[in-house]
């Protein structure tokens, strides 16, 4: 019987989207996000081991993105990993209005609900993470009919898709990861909004348009600090930006940076240790 390596990673704070991105730099075959840990799978003959995983996680400690972590290694029998992955992806009721579901789950919608179908594969943005929920709730509040959206670090495309379903006329979704770009396009097709969302591979500096009514960026503090000027230059006067991927401890630095550029702090919401902030230009 063939066996696989299974590594269980816990961290404080638990930032699965960033940790999983680092893990894909190693010789692995899959990642499953659990409630309080990340399961990383590798072939029995893979070079991935506790030491190499720990080296990757120490980068996050050095950058002060996590304070501590733990890695445990197990050997498990071969199984249908796609089937295991599907078990971990659930229907998520983000609010009374917004629901996110994978294509392989049944859901009986209620009157007035907007159903967003997302098959995440290796991209972040299933709707289960606190930061995604926070941004989606803000989109429900701030998307007006006919506006133009830019989503930076778009992952599965869930924020752009939600924006269109909430009434935006068009959206640009950009991510510098090729897997995310491909997955975003697939999810736009699933939701029949591909004609309104331009999914691009690249970074915000590659965006030539400077007339967006609303910009979303659910990434992490260091990147949000680096691209603040780029965001400002692409937002219409009077437009709004929704930032997340942020911890409570990030708020002061983010507010100071964005305020120094001429952004006005509008409001924030929190969920567990995570926050999302709205600024206006």
How does pLDDT run across 199-250, given as a tens digit for each residue?
A: 999 999 999 999 999 999 998 888 999 999 999 999 999 999 999 999 888 9
Q: Let me know: does 89 contact 105? Beta carbons within 8 Å.
A: yes
pTM value?
A: 0.76
Distance between CA atoms of residues 194 and 264, nearest Å: 33
**Res 126: pLDDT:** 65
21 confidence band (pLDDT: 50, 70, 90): confident
**Res 272: pLDDT:** 87
Fold classification of 121-280 is Rossmann fold (3.40.50)
Q: Indicate whether 115 pLDDT > 60.
A: yes
Work out the angle at residue 35's Cα, subtended by the Cα atoms of residues 156 and 154, and round it to the nearest 5 degrees: 15
Q: Chain-wide mean pLDDT for the chain?
A: 90
Looking only at the bridges linking them, the beta strands covering 148-152 and 212-218 are parallel
Q: Indicate whether 78 pLDDT > 80.
A: no
Q: Let me know: does 123 contact 180? Beta carbons within 8 Å.
A: yes
Distances (CA, A) of 83 to 21, 57, 117, 175, 249: 22, 28, 18, 27, 38
Distance between CA atoms of residues 140 and 94, nearest Å: 10
Parts of the chain belonging to CATH 3.30.70:
3-86
pLDDT, greater one: 179 or 200: 200
Distance between CA atoms of residues 65 and 51, nearest Å: 19
**Res 190: pLDDT:** 95
Distance between CA atoms of residues 31 and 121, nearest Å: 10
Fold classification of 3-86 is Alpha-Beta Plaits (3.30.70)
**Res 125: pLDDT:** 59
Parts of the chain belonging to CATH 3.40.50.150:
121-280
Sheet holding 212-218, edge to edge: 197-201, 170-175, 148-152, 212-218, 235-247, 274-280, 264-271
86 confidence band (pLDDT: 50, 70, 90): low
């Amino acid at each position: 019987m063939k066996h696989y390596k299974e590594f269980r990673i816990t961290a404080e704070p638990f930032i699965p989207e960033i940790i999983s991105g680092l893990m894909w730099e190693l010789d692995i075959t899959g990642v499953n996000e659990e409630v309080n840990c990340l399961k990383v799978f590798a072939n029995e003959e893979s070079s991935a081991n506790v030491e190499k995983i720990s080296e990757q996680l120490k980068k996050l400690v050095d950058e002060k993105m996590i304070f501590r972590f733990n890695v445990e290694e197990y050997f498990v029998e071969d199984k249908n990993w796609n089937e295991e992955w599907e078990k971990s992806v659930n229907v998520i009721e983000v609010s009374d209005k917004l629901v996110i579901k994978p294509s392989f789950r049944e859901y009986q919608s209620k009157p007035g609900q907007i159903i967003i179908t997302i098959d995440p594969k290796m991209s972040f943005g299933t709707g289960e993470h606190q930061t995604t929920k926070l941004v989606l709730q803000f989109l429900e509040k701030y998307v007006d009919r006919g506006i133009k959206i830019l989503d930076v670090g778009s992952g599965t495309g869930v924020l752009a898709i939600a924006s269109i379903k909430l009434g935006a006329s068009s959206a640009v979704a950009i991510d510098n990861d090729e897997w995310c770009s491909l997955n975003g396009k697939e999810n736009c097709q699933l939701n029949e909004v591909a004609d309104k969302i331009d999914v691009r591979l690249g970074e915000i500096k590659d965006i030539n348009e400077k007339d967006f009514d609303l910009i979303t960026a659910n990434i992490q503090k260091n990147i949000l600090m680096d691209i603040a000027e780029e965001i400002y230059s692409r937002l219409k006067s009077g437009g709004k930006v929704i930032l997340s991927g942020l911890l409570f401890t990030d708020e002061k630095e983010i507010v100071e940076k964005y305020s120094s550029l001429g952004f006005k702090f509008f409001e924030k919401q929190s969920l567990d240790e995570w926050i999302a902030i709205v600024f206006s230009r």
